[in-house]
Amino acid sequence: MGQLQQFLPFVLMFVVIYFFMIRPQQKRAKNEREFESTLKVGDKIITKSGIHGKIAELGDSTVIIETMAGKLKMERSSISMEFSATLNKKA
């Protein structure tokens, strides 16, 4: 019984860390993967660096974005959100 009381705080700390840090990060990563897989040509997007544009072409791991200045080739993971979806949510 004495050994159980010694390790109980460590077990409780691990449980708290799991539910407050590890699990939310896994859910966020899963949502990002789902978002990246649902992208399609013509979607208006915003990159993580703040560039607004429209998807012109899709590759396996890359995206070609059409902006007012020209076309940019970027990784899919650099896309932050779909702009048209955020506009629809606000309306």
Q: Domain containing 78 — which CATH number?
A: 2.30.30.60
Each residue's pLDDT tens digit, 69-83: 999 999 988 888 766
Predicted model pTM: 0.63
Range of the domain at 31: 1-38
Q: How far apart are CA 16 and CA 70, in angstroms?
A: 48
Q: How far apart are CA 38 and CA 57, in angstroms?
A: 14
Each residue's pLDDT tens digit, 1-36: 678 788 899 999 999 998 899 899 999 889 888 888
Q: How far is CA 75 from CA 16, 18, 43, 54, 63, in A?
A: 34, 30, 15, 14, 6
| Domains contained in the chain, number | 2
User: Does 88 lie in the same domain as 56?
Assistant: yes
User: Does 88 lie in the same domain as 47?
Assistant: yes
